[in-house]
Every structure is written in structure tokens, then in C-alpha cells.
Amino acid sequence: MYSKAIKHLKTNDPILHEIALSIEPFELSIHPDPFIRLIRSIIGQQLSVKAAATIFARFEDLFPNKEIEPNYILKIPDEKLRSVGLSRQKISYLKDLSQKVIEKEVELENLQELESEVIIEQLLKIKGIGRWTAEMFLMFSLGRPDIFSNGDLGLQNAIRNIYKLSNKPTIEEMEKISNKWSPYRTYASMILWRSLNNEPK
């Protein structure tokens, strides 16, 4: 699909297409376990990639055979979770996610069958999951090709740089520019991030 995205940019946005020519080709991927991806998203909030990976590894070691299950998360005492580096707030987020998955308030098994906005609505029910996190989940965990995040600072900076805007782009400006990339806005976003060497995880 990458080649189709590049061809689309060549026709619809020559400026971004020129940037894309300097980027190593890539493809989107689908993560096999959306629950784990959401766990990692919550743990990684406001942390460096290295710190998040360290805490996740300690968290994973709390589970038999490192198999993270929602039922088991609810049984772990908060103080034990605190001991691996999790804040009380993140512990409440992880337990809320686990509870909602167990009760089927958030169903992760059939996400690929749902429209992107429906998935975002589902994820916003979880404490600690905002729209940005939901959009990153769609891009990096579900491999959705046509997602754009107006609230992402990296995308705002890249658009300002590439299109030589005098100020940070407004929502309206970002929508106008990004609409040219549809149905490949995720690919365009990744090209923008890589132009800054600042791709989220």
C-alpha cells in the first residue's frame, strides 16, 4: 500500500511527495494483542521510550509466564504495582481498562470490523485514554491507513516546517492540508514524523 500512498501524494501534494522520497519505504502493521498495546500506551504516557520500556518489563514480570491478563491485573495489590514504577493514577487506568474488558464494555476482539470513529468512541470510555492515544492506537496497533491526529505536536511542527507557515497551523489549516492525503493520511503522518525523526510509539 505504501507505493499507492506515494503515488497519491505525487498527484495531490508534490511538497510532501518530495519529502517522502528521502524517507525509507515502510508498511503499516497490525499488532496481534490490542490489550497489550493499550497497556503499553497507558504505561508510556509522559515517559521517555526507555523509561516506559523499563517499567513495562518490570510490570510484565509480575505475571506467570509474562502473560498479562485483565483478571490478574485486578488481583494485584496496588502497592505491588507501585513497586514496579507505576503511579497511582496509571494503576487506576490499568484496572479500569481491565474491568471494562472483562465486562465487555470495551470489546477488543472485533475491533478490525469496526469503523475508526466507533473504535475511538469505545476507547474513550477507558480512563486515561484520550483521543490522541486512540488515534495512535488506530495507526500503530490496527494499521489503519487513513488516520490523522490534529492534536499531535510533532505533526503540527512538521506541517509548519514543510509548508513554511509563519505560525503553528490551526485545526482548519491542518484539516485542509491533510484532506489532500486521504485515504492515506496515516502514511502521510508517518512521513511527517520521520522528517522530524520523531515517530511516536
> Active-site residue numbers?
152
**Between 185-196 and 131-140, two packed helices, what is the crossing angle to 10 degrees?**
100
Using CA atoms, how far apart are residues 109 and 175, in angstroms rounded to an integer?
A: 31
Residue 183 grid cell? 485515504
**For residue 150, what is the DSSP state?**
T
Comparing CA positions, the residue from 152, 139, 109, 106 lying closest to residue 125 is 106
Type and span of the H or E element at 167: none
| 27 contact partners, CB below 8 Å, separation of at least 6 | 1, 2
Burial of 22 (0-12, 13-18, 19+ CB in 10 A): exposed
